[in-house]
Amino acid sequence: MALDRWIALILLGICLAYGYAAWFTMDAELAPFMRRNPIWPSTFPKVLSILGIIATTVILLGFEKSEPKEAEIDYRRLGDYHLGQALILLALMVAYALCLRPLGFLFSTSAFLILGAYVLGERKYLIMVLVSVIAAFVVWYLVQEVLGIYMRPLPGFIGG
């Protein structure tokens, strides 16, 4: 059996366990007033489990297979790809996660987007900075004000 089918088989087991939990155990302790609602807390997990079971079954039965084609990434020629950019982006992601709390969301996210765009080859600095700052502010505003989830916008030493 091919690797994709083994992975699909493992994911099918996970989806079946997740579906069992969603269908039979999540709603057992539901409050009486919530039992009359059309959408329960288990509705989304139920839909996810059904979609996962369908997708993995399609892979297991081989319906998605088309004619065999050449591999898109040749592991023997890794030096020909932009491996340095990928590793720098991974390092930026780790640095972003570590700097998020002490430096605040707005600065960390803006810096990550600016540096990430620079690593990927963007050289229009004004546009890069404007888009990064606006995107970070919009995401912070939506999460903070619309969803009501507190995120420290500024570094702690500035008053965030």
Question: Over the chain (160 residues), what is each successive 10-residue block's mean pLDDT?
Answer: 84 93 81 76 88 93 74 71 89 94 91 95 94 95 85 72
The DSSP 8-state label assigned to residue 62 in this structure reads T
What's the alpha-carbon Rg for the chain, to the nearest Å? 23
Answer yes or no: do 10 and 40 share one domain.
yes
Write the burial class of residue 43 (CB in 10 Å: 0-12 exposed, 13-18 middle, 19+ buried). middle
Query: Contact at 8 Å (CB) between 151 and 159?
Result: no
Tell me the C-alpha distance between 97 and 116, whole Å: 14
Does residue 141 fall inside a structural domain?
Answer: yes
Q: What pLDDT is attached to residue 26?
A: 79
Does residue 119 fall inside a structural domain?
Answer: yes
Q: What pLDDT is attached to residue 42?
A: 78
Answer yes or no: do 87 and 137 share one domain.
yes
Answer yes or no: do 53 and 11 share one domain.
yes
Does residue 17 fall inside a structural domain?
Answer: yes
Number of structural domains in the chain: 2
Domain that holds residue 113: 83-146
List Cα–Cα distances, 120 to 56, 60, 73, 85, 153, in angstroms.
34, 37, 19, 7, 26
Does residue 43 fall inside a structural domain?
Answer: yes
Tell me the C-alpha distance between 74 and 68, whole Å: 15
Answer yes or no: do 57 and 87 share one domain.
no
Does residue 77 fall inside a structural domain?
Answer: no
Does residue 37 fall inside a structural domain?
Answer: yes
Which pTM was predicted?
0.56
